Amino acid sequence: MDSGIGLLPAAAAVRRLRPDADLVLSWDPDGMPWGPRTPDDITRRALDVAEAAAAHGAEVLIVACNTASVHSLPELRARFEPDLPIIGTVPAIKPAAAGGGHVAIWATPATTGSAYQRNLIEQFAAGAHVTEVACPGLADAVHHADDAAIDAAIASAAARTPEDVTTLVLGCTNYELVGERIRAAVERPGRPPLVLHGSADAVAAQALRRIGAEPAPAAVADTTLTVLLSGREATLPDTALSYEEGRFLQAVSPVR
């Protein structure tokens, strides 16, 4: 679940680990973007989107949204666990800081500077040089596959990213869909390649662990892909098919 198509990287990661998994993709075009909303409003929208997914028999639910994870995980867990395990998504600050060097965290304005993100920095990167970079408009531009707006938002964030940054945390799941465009904008000539840290692979693996499912990438099965747009069954929007992850999901198990 997510407010928008930022759930595609995690869904594709699950599909690669378990080709036999039936997937339910639940997002909220009626209410997105969630970032500018109040925490209470974000939580109400997140609970509705989660309810829609749960109604389709989900065994584990990935909250593939940093903003919802920051503001709504306690309420989601109180509502659904232990029957439905909830897997949150947090910026990959711990592995990024472990690599040393100057770390930048790109995130939505709602996540940047939040107590939640600051606590992660203090807990996992207290000895590291960390710069938080808010990226207004980038998540929305990615959701709508608006190339001009994506380029403008990336350029703005890159201009505010220190030149000596060696590692960049993608603190919004939408950003993983344009990771290579971000890399190209931030990498500096004559410096080592930029290291990017997303969250999709980690949350997919954690979701399988929570339900005792081992990765089985060689499995072949007749699987289903259900798409819920603010609770309504639909097909993958054209914007989702603008990205490699969306095309992969559609090719492996077309929406039914």
User: Which residues form the catalytic set?
Assistant: 65, 172
**DSSP H or E segment with residue 185:** helix 179-186
**Peptide bond preceding 192: is omega within 30 degrees of 0, i.e. cis?**
no
DSSP state, 3? S
**How do beta strands 23-27 and 129-134 pair?**
unpaired
Q: What span, in angstroms and rounded, lies between the C-alpha atoms of 204 and 215?
A: 10
Is the CB of residue 28 less than 8 Å from the CB of residue 53?
no
Tokens linked to 144: 């709508």
Angle at 229 between CA 202 and CA 172, to 5 degrees: 35
**Could you give the CA distance from residue 5 to residue 65 in angstroms, rounded to a whole number?**
10
Residue 169's DSSP bridge partners are 105, 197
